Amino acid sequence: MTTLVLLALAGFGAQLVDGALGMGYGVTSTTLLLLAGLTPATASASVHLAKIGTALASGYAHWRFANIDRKLVLRLGVPGAVGALLGALLLSRLSTAASAPLMAGLLVAIGVFILVKYTLRPPHESAARVSPHGRRFLGPLGFVGGFVDATGGGGWGPVATSTLLTAGRTAPRTVIGSVSASELLVTVAASIGFVVGLGHAGIHWLAVAGLLIGGIVAAPIAAWLVTRLPSGVLGVAVGGLIVLSNLRAVLSSAGVDGIAVPVAHVGVAVVSVGLVTGAARRLRASRRAAGAVVPQHV
């Protein structure tokens, strides 16, 4: 019972992060499961099975609010599903010794990506409700996003959403809604790959239940928090935390040990705190500037 509660708390926290940033459920929950002692393949498989329920609910909600471009969903989701299936089969066949540094490296890379992205200015708003991107751009993007998502235990949002928002040619609500809807295809494909590769015995069903319960409970709270929490500050903090949580495994696989390991952790922590502080200062400065604008009456 205690384990289920802890797993539910992990799913709750991951969903809060995802609700505030529009990404991060898979990366955050996989990191927490790895810290709990699960193998990389089992952690990723459990996260993806739990994500089927949250992705289905999220896609339906975005469809109800007309945030979806159907062509974008298919052009992104189908190659994403292919990449996720291949990534899941690959991770399932790797030994723990080989898969642990691979997943840790991908998680560190995604953490750095999130940290840098939310340190910089957010993308500009676009009015285009239908994506102008074609298959030549969306196909490779979806495939890479799906492959990274399966092998890294998460990454569909950081890869697909961030790339499309940075391109700046599609309305953010359409990007987020379409990527969320297409994630269902990616998640189902990855789950099939893990079930085929690992079998039912390779799935941590208690982790699946805990993450799903926590995610469902957190979903409405996350929807409210997204209007209250500064995503820039939270994004930097989450990115730094993900890097710190997986740094030891990366250093160990590279043969780095001794005093260099705590020094590296302290260095990353100092940089992360500095970036969080900088993001908070910029937020306060922008709010003061907005408050200083006094409308002029004729």
Q: Mean pLDDT by 10-residue block, N- to C-terminus, for the chain (298 residues)?
A: 81 75 77 83 89 80 81 94 95 78 82 80 56 85 92 82 74 79 92 88 84 81 62 75 81 84 90 86 78 55
Residue 139: the pLDDT is 94
The CB-side HSE value for 296 (13 A sphere, CA atoms) comes to 1
Q: What's the rounded Cα separation, in Å, for the pair 187 and 17?
A: 18
Specify the pTM: 0.73
Residue 122: the pLDDT is 53
CA nearest to 71, candidates 198, 178, 195: 178
Question: Dihedral angle at the C-alpha atoms of 38, 107, 84, 72, nearest 10 degrees?
Answer: 140
Give the residue extent of every domain in the chain. Answer: 2-291
3-state secondary structure 200-254: HHHCCHHHHHHHHHHHHHHHHHHHHHCCCCCHHHHHHHHHHHHHHHHHHHHHHHC
Residue 146: the pLDDT is 94
Residue 298: the pLDDT is 46
